[in-house]
Amino acid sequence: MPSESPTHAEGAPSSETAPLLGPNASAANNAAEVRSNGTFPNKNSSVVSTSETGDVENGQASDSDDDTRKGDDVPKLKVNLKALFPAMAIGVFLVAMDQTLTIATYGRMGSELNALNSTSWISTSYFLTLTAFQPLYGKVSDIFGRKESLLFAYFVFGLGCLGCGLSQDIIQLCIARAVAGIGGGGMNAVVTILLTDIVSLRDRGMWQGYINIIFAAGMSSGAPIGGLIADSIGWRWAFTAQFPLSMVAWLAVYLVLHLPKTDHAHWTSKVQRVDFLGAFILVSAAFALLFGLDNGSNEGWDKKITIIPLALTPVLFALFILVEVKVASEPFAPGHIILDPPLLAAYMANFFGVAAQMGVLFFIALFFQAAMGLSATESGFVFIPSTFFGLAGSLGGGLFMRRTGKYYWITLLGYTLMIISVAPMVAFTGVVAKSTAGVIVGLCILAFGGGISITSTLIAIIANAAPGDTAVAIACSYLFRSLGTTLGISISTAVLQQVLRTSLAASLGDDDNRARQIEEGVRQSLDYIRKLEPEIADIVRTCYAVAIQWAFIPVIIVAFSALLASAWVRERKLEGR
């Protein structure tokens, strides 16, 4: 391999910088960049081989390739984007609204089901299946088709939401949430893949900004509406109402999205190509981690039921990598993609960044309701400002990348802001003072930085992936996001529950039986706090605030890790295609 900088097929030098990588990193991946413009080649596209254009690996291309590349200005898939975008937006809106419904109402759900100390499972059961199926949709949509995969996702998501509304205990609720996660993963991943099929790479960030407008609308409306429903007719209706909306989205996609069939094989042969073994091992690994962390914080870290799952976790993750690299014929997380240095850097930045952000969003809602005494409705409304700051960061980042064609430094900026945001949130959860407004300021900074970085890392992944790997590379980004979400929520919750237990035991003092009774009561239901004597209730609220402050420790660690990983992201000039 020559040492000089590789070039694109059109003969112009590829503009790429990575201050910590150097110009020659992952040269094999550079060679795979022939004709990459963020869209997928299809059977009718005139993909130019190296035999026709010269030795692309050595930076040589014939002049005739310039003419051939003029066709790249036209999207690979010719669809009516104006009609399709609203149909896709319905699903994005529902997924966003579902996330904020959970954040605003999980305290009420846990209290009603007498399982407040297990409320992390309401989210983690959803993200368990999301983790396995979200990246799987990349390969599944290649095998079965984009439209079919999206229709399946809408239907399963709606079915899961209906099950949530009908649940009678925490186990049924978590199972229904797991079903919804299977569908929710596709509603995100397939829409992202479809946009990449249609839109050029340089405009991709701007279109992601449009998607994030819809996402922000869902988040901003979901939290207050979910809180209002929980405080009035009951939290179950917040989920049940999503079923008919999902069916409307299903019908819209069915009527609007028309794509040519490229694979006419029988469905049984297609099913055999899906990497179910890898998905099963991945779910098992994530479940073992979550189960161990949950039992450690609730039952004790020296129990076998805690030690065994935690010990099995690294073994299962190693087995998953082995299956994806050596065993699976069509892996949904191929080793040549997830282990490619430029892509791995972006994936790890996603992993740690989402872990920090989602960990905060989950336990800070408990601060508003348990420590500050806000209702579910009020707790939902306080998330609105940060939602719009997240939107501003994502859309602004997309416009910046469209104007400059660069994403490296803005990615570092986003993760730096996430680190800075921890300071006001810790300060105003009781270290300096208890202030809802102060915490909201920190949430806004966190959301703004997260909005920038989540968009810019997606563009980095698309820019660095080989054309034929784009769908799977995008889907793998959702794998790392889901794993990050799961890890962030579970570790932060484990720290919170552990500190809460010890803090309550130390503060409630002499009567061990009374202290144990109060401890179990407040960890099972927020309503229990309101039934306590005022002075005892104040002690409990203070203990919750202290526990939440300690929960920021894993957040700051993973946020720094995200910044470190993002420093290794490779910059590629986004051409104006």
d(CA 503, CA 544): 9
Token pair for 23: 């110009």
Instruction: Note whether 333 and 477 are within 8 A (CB).
Output: no
Using CA atoms, how far residue 407 sits from 120, 315, 454, 458, 566, in Å, is 34, 36, 11, 10, 11
Instruction: Note whether 425 and 382 are within 8 A (CB).
Output: no
d(CA 10, CA 62): 8
d(CA 456, CA 176): 33
Q: Span 119-123, mean pLDDT?
A: 72
Which of residues 367 and 267 earns the better pLDDT score?
367
Token pair for 312: 């099995």
Instruction: Note whether 559 and 350 are within 8 A (CB).
Output: no
Query: Count of domains in the chain?
Result: 1
- Indicate the pairing of strand 16-17 with strand 571-572: antiparallel
Q: Around Cβ 168, how many Cβ atoms within 10 Å? A: 8
pTM of the model as a whole: 0.68
Lowest-confidence segment of 204-213, 249-258, 526-535 by average pLDDT: 204-213
Residue 17 lies in a domain: no
Residue 398 lies in a domain: no
Percent of residues, the chain, with pLDDT higher than 70: 75
pLDDT of amino acid 103? 66
pLDDT of amino acid 263? 59
Local confidence band at 558 (pLDDT 50, 70, 90 cut-offs): very high
Instruction: Note whether 135 and 475 are within 8 A (CB).
Output: yes
Local confidence band at 14 (pLDDT 50, 70, 90 cut-offs): very low
Instruction: Note whether 233 and 107 are within 8 A (CB).
Output: no
Residue 144 lies in a domain: no
For residue 434, which phi and psi values (nearest 5 degrees)? -95, 115
Residue 40 has pLDDT above 70, yes or no: no
Lowest-confidence segment of 248-252, 300-304, 360-364, 568-572 by average pLDDT: 300-304
DSSP helix, strand, coil percent of the chain (3-state; round to 5): 75, 0, 25
Q: Which among 53-62, 63-72, 170-179, 231-240 has the top mean pLDDT?
A: 170-179
pLDDT of amino acid 279? 80
Instruction: Note whether 425 and 443 are within 8 A (CB).
Output: yes
pLDDT of amino acid 232? 80
Residue 553 has pLDDT above 90, yes or no: yes
Nearest in space to 299 (alpha carbons), one of 544, 521, 498, 508? 498
d(CA 386, CA 392): 10
Nearest in space to 145 (alpha carbons), one of 249, 13, 265, 263? 263
**Tokens 């340089």 identify what position?**
202
Q: Span 109-133, mean pLDDT?
A: 73
pLDDT of amino acid 226? 75
Residue 317 lies in a domain: yes
Nearest in space to 209 (alpha carbons), one of 195, 224, 220? 195
Residue-averaged pLDDT of the chain? 76
Residue 32 lies in a domain: no
Any bridge partners for residue 16, and if so which? 572
Local confidence band at 297 (pLDDT 50, 70, 90 cut-offs): low
Residue 441 has pLDDT above 90, yes or no: yes
Token pair for 228: 């209002």
Residue 507 has pLDDT above 50, yes or no: yes
pLDDT of amino acid 552? 94
Residue 105 has pLDDT above 50, yes or no: yes
For residue 235, which phi and psi values (nearest 5 degrees)? -65, -25
Residue 13 lies in a domain: no
Residue 280 lies in a domain: yes
**Going by C-beta distance under 8 Å and a sequence separation of 6 or more, which residues neighbour residue 165?**
236, 237, 238, 239, 240, 243
Residue 231 has pLDDT above 80, yes or no: no
Residue 157 lies in a domain: no
Nearest in space to 477 (alpha carbons), one of 153, 85, 193? 193
Q: Around Cβ 42, how many Cβ atoms within 10 Å? A: 12
Instruction: For residue 287, give its domain range.
Output: 275-331
- Could you tell me how many residues make up the chain? 577
